[in-house]
Amino acid sequence: MCDTIVALGSATEEGFTFFGKNSDREPDEAQNILIVPCKKHDSKETVQCSYLTIPQVPETARVLLCQPFWMFGAEMGANEYGVVIGNEAIFTKEKPDKIGLTGMDLVRLALERSRTARQALNVIIELLEKYGQGGNCGYRFKLKYMNSFLIVDKKEAYVLETVKAWWAWKKIKDVWSISNIISLQKDYDSCSEGLI
């Protein structure tokens, strides 16, 4: 099982925000530590994600990624503005599309395109609604799943849980953790239209 946890400064002795994540990827699937520099992009430039090519934004932030070596995206990462995101697989009755953005694609794209946790939350929601989620996330074995995220900066944190293009999020007050199941019930702050 994977787990991601955050403790905001309001819940820690010295007032620091703490973030942690472990990963249960396949034993022989190396994870790269990758630093991608900030960059300005041409208006017609695109970005090749794991399975989709999407338009690039005018400028991307410098990011540090913990990335399965064969994928575009990342299990977790941080950017130059102090935004940190971790991703967890969640297994639901709804099945992912054959092609879409993976949860790991969404982690990287949000880190490259945001300066705050709230902005990263909005980036993931926007991309999810536009492109959906899908594609194989297993290295040697096929593995498809939906995704949840902990999105954090030094001031605030959010939990975002997604199924297909549907989503629900909650602003975290002190501490939160996610694993491979949905953690939000009716306690979310906002959700997508039509979510049951």
Tell me which residues are annotated as active site: 2
Please choose, from the candidates 143, 127, 134, the residue with its C-alpha nearest in 3D space to the C-alpha of residue 99.
134
Q: Is the distance from CB of 101 to CB of 133 less than 8 angstroms?
A: yes
Q: Is the distance from CB of 188 to CB of 170 less than 8 angstroms?
A: yes
Buried/exposed 18-35: b ≥16 CB within 10 Å, e otherwise: ebebebeeeeeeebeeee
Integer Cα distance of 19 and 177 in angstroms: 10
Length, in residues, of the chain: 196
Integer Cα distance of 147 and 165 in angstroms: 11
Rounded to 10 deg, the angle between the 117-131 and 103-112 helix axes is 130
